[in-house]
């Protein structure tokens, strides 16, 4: 047996998320189906991070164990020939057999895009959250500073039963790029819906003109009902996983 790791770019618009589940086509299911076609055997993949329905990835990492003799490059080419155009293998390489894309990941980088164009742009309908008003980016930047470091993110996530809510956020920045406001978050790992709930909460507080103290208080409360709404899935991109 050998193990091959792949960097995957996908447009999540047409998928019911990454993980195989009942109902709807998933990224995982689509990749596994293509792999099964190529290797003529049932295949399961491992992945670095689950993404919800409509969420995109530029650098998701998946791995597969196989006894097939194709080189990593041949796997990549064969897979791309069998995948739909909205999923692409950007890179493939041989890794140690015990490599696990989720457990071995050191850092994950997510990006969230907000379009602040005066009118909703057709091309970004599924690819950015549209907000008509002008955002106070200085205020948002001060919010970002309140959630850095190792924290209990219960107020900003959809926790699973018994899940450890502590995560470490290394980076949380916001900047303006043309008609976009761009959030970048890097952490050791992320809870379910964490990035979207952080962004959604920031946007609600910014609209009310809350001081950064308000964000710090929501974090300290460890209470999901204190956080804001989860922001639109199409604005979120898993950019890169670091090992």
The alpha carbon torsion through 179, 9, 82, 95 (nearest 10 deg) reads 170
Round to whole Å and give the CA distance between 232 and 144: 19
Comparing CB distances to a copy of itself, the nearer of 46 and 56 is 56
Nearer to a copy of itself, 157 or 238 (CB): 238
Fill in the per-residue mask, 46 to 65: x = in contact with a copy of itself (CB under 8 A), - = not in contact: ----------x---------
Cα-based torsion angle of the residue sequence 149, 55, 92, 22 in order, rounded to the nearest 10 degrees: 110
Print the binding letters for residues 126-165 with a copy of itself: x by CB under 8 A, - otherwise: -x--------------------------------------
Size of the site for a copy of itself (CB under 8 A): 19
Stretch that binds a copy of itself, among 9-17, 45-53, 155-163, 198-206 (CB under 8 A): 9-17
Candidate ranges 63-71, 112-120, 169-177, 228-236; the one touching a copy of itself (CB under 8 A): 112-120
How many CA within 13 A on the CB side of residue 71? 4
Bridge partners, residue 88, by sequence: 9
Q: Which among 59-67, 78-86, 157-165, 207-215 is the span making contact with a copy of itself, rule CB under 8 A?
A: 78-86
Binding status of residue 119 toward a copy of itself by CB under 8 A: yes
Q: Tokens for 214, please give them.
A: 């308000």
Q: Which two tokens stand for residue 58?
A: 């530029």
At residue 9's C-alpha, the angle toward residues 51 and 160, to 5°, is 10
Is the Cβ–Cβ distance between 137 and 181 less than 8 Å?
Answer: yes
**Residue with token string 């689509």:** 30
Nearer to a copy of itself among residue 130 and residue 156 (C-beta):
130
- The answer to whether 89 contacts a copy of itself (rule: CB under 8 A) is yes
Residues lying near a copy of itself in the complex (CB under 8 A) are found at 9-11, 56, 80, 85-90, 118-123, 125, 127
């Amino acid at each position: 047996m050998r193990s091959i790791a792949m960097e995957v770019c996908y447009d999540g618009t047409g998928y019911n998320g990454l993980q195989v589940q009942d109902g709807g086509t998933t990224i995982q299911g689509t990749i596994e189906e293509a792999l099964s076609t190529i290797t003529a055997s049932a295949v399961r993949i491992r992945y670095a991070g689950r993404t919800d329905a409509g969420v995109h990835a530029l650098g998701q990492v998946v791995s597969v164990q196989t006894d097939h003799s194709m080189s990593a490059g041949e796997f990549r080419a064969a897979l791309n020939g069998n995948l739909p155009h909205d999923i692409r293998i950007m890179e493939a390489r041989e890794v140690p057999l015990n490599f696990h894309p989720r457990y071995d990941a050191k850092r994950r980088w997510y990006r969230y895009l907000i379009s602040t164009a005066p009118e909703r742009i057709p091309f970004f309908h599924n690819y950015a959250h549209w907000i008509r008003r002008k955002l106070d980016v200085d205020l948002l930047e001060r919010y970002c500073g309140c959630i850095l470091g190792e924290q209990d993110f219960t107020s900003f996530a959809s926790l699973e039963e018994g899940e450890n809510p502590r995560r470490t956020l290394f980076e949380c920045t916001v900047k303006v790029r043309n008609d976009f406001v761009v959030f970048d978050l890097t952490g050791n790992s992320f809870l379910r819906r964490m990035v979207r709930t952080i962004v959604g909460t920031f946007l609600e507080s910014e609209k009310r003109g809350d001081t950064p103290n308000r964000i710090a208080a929501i974090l300290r409360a460890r209470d999901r009902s204190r956080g804001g709404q989860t922001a639109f899935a199409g604005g979120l991109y898993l950019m890169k996983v670091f090992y």
